Amino acid sequence: MDVFVIPEYSFGAEVKSESVNISNEHIGFKWVSYDEAINQLKWDSNKTALFELNCKLTMNES
């Protein structure tokens, strides 16, 4: 069996409005707290990306 590594990229963006337009490939979205978001994620790579973003945002608030 071959093993494939699939690159994964995560991005963060500052959003200044609660109104968001999404493309038709998505069925919806919702704004949640960090704790709710981390608990809803399934994959460790997504949890790590959110944790790192939260750390960067927290450091910038100081």
Summarised one tens digit per residue, pLDDT across range 13-55 is 888 888 889 999 999 999 999 999 999 999 999 999 999 999 9
Instruction: Give me the torsion for CA of 19, 22, 24, 30, rounded to 10°.
Output: -70
Q: What is the DSSP secondary structure assignment for residue 52, as one 8-state letter?
A: H
The model's pTM is 0.75
Q: Report long-range pairs for 27-31 (Cβ below 8 Å, ≥24 apart).
A: none
Position 38, amino acid: I
